[in-house]
Amino acid sequence: MFKKISFFLAALFLAVNLLTACQSSNNANVDPMDLIEMLNNKSTKITVEPGWLHVMENVVYDVDKENLGALPNEAVIPLEYKTDTWYHINNQTQVYEYVQTQYTMQGDIVQVSVFMDEVIVNLMTNFILPMSPYTLDALDYRFANEMADYVSRTGQGVDLKLTDVDGHNAAIFTIEETLSEPATTENYDQQVYGIRTIAYYDVDSGLLFRLERIRVFEDGSERTFYRTDITVEQNTTPPADILDYLKGIN
């Protein structure tokens, strides 16, 4: 019992210290790896709470193409779109059904995927995939893993900035790398010489609210290959059209 209490107090002490440091202007007091672990642990408390979890994304790609390709039904995936996902979490803290809809910025549906009865079905392509209920991890797009790999692989540190961003008390993590050889991709006419990834976390909730992936070219110019802005809502009920998908009506 004493060991459990000691462990709890040590963890609490670490969390208090990190939160205090986050409110300080001296970023040197905060270890990025410790902070991102604390933030993901905090956000996971949200993603395992029984009920509905609503995740909305605005996604923008900046590439030398007109679109991101087409689905088998010839529906075109635009460079800018919205994704709306309703996760239903049971008392075992597992997602057992969801509805995910991809829209154009004008509100037209691109595709819809439904998870229920341990099967995922894309209603536009009729693609079917068996899936068991699962625990929804931190909604960080695996950035914490990416950051840990970057530090291990390059031996470089992570830039951390603590500031206010669009009403968020934000922790901004940046990892940047110059490629050993220029990369030629289908996305750009120019070769890519470097990459930068910037992740914006809300310190109060622990949730990632923006992710940017930037490409750097030989002349030093940059383009934001990918950006997503994320909003998460709890304790809200899906509209009727979303529930109809789970009833098999749509």
- pLDDT (average), residues 172-190: 96
**Whole-number CA gyration radius for the chain:** 20
Closest by CA to 37, choosing from 201, 245, 241, is 201
Whole-number pLDDT of residue 4:
41
Q: Is the pTM of this model over 0.95?
A: no
Residue 21: predicted pLDDT: 46
Sorted by where each begins, the domain ranges of the chain are 1-48+139-219, 49-56+70-135+235-247
Evaluate if residue 173 carries a pLDDT over 70: yes
For residue 48, give the 3-state DSSP assignment.
coil
Strand partners, 159: 174
Give the tens place of pLDDT for each residue, 9-51: 344 444 444 554 454 444 657 899 999 999 999 999 999 999 9
**Helices 143-154 and 32-47, axial angle in degrees (round to 10):** 160
